[in-house]
Structure 1
Amino acid sequence: MRMLAKNQLVLSRFLFKHFIADASIIGFLAQFDDAVKIEQDTWLKATGIIKVITFNGIELLMIEVLKYVKVD
């Protein structure tokens, strides 16, 4: 199983419908040079190009981040 590269992270949020027990993560794989510098639980506003890639045999969407800012 392929792990994330140093220039990749997952931009994600928790999603739940009715109860916390139903919670799941929804998000996008993102790729940019500074990804390794971003600490866990940091909020980002990102702009980029959405691409379809194959990751571990599964097609998914990835954002090629062109610019980003940290959000407080």
Structure 2
Amino acid sequence: MMPPMMNNPMMAMLQMARNGGNPMQMLQQMAGQNPQAAQAMRLIQGKKPQQLRQIAENMAKERGVDLNQMAHQMGITLPK
């Protein structure tokens, strides 16, 4: 039986990133099976870290969420 976290692809990618891994391979695999994941891949490909942060901040703001607070709740530290 898989740990509950691994049943959720987003949590699995988060765990992979926390452990210093690269979640892009998992995201590429998901993109082949899910149109929303494919759209996310197109959105982030070729972007610099600061551009990715700005995208994440904008998406969080659209939803009324503070990106830093959300990251803190997830136990991750965002780069400046």
TM-score, length-scaled by structure 1:
0.23
More strand as a share of residues? 1
Greater relative contact order (Cα 8 A, min sep 6): structure 1 or 2? 1
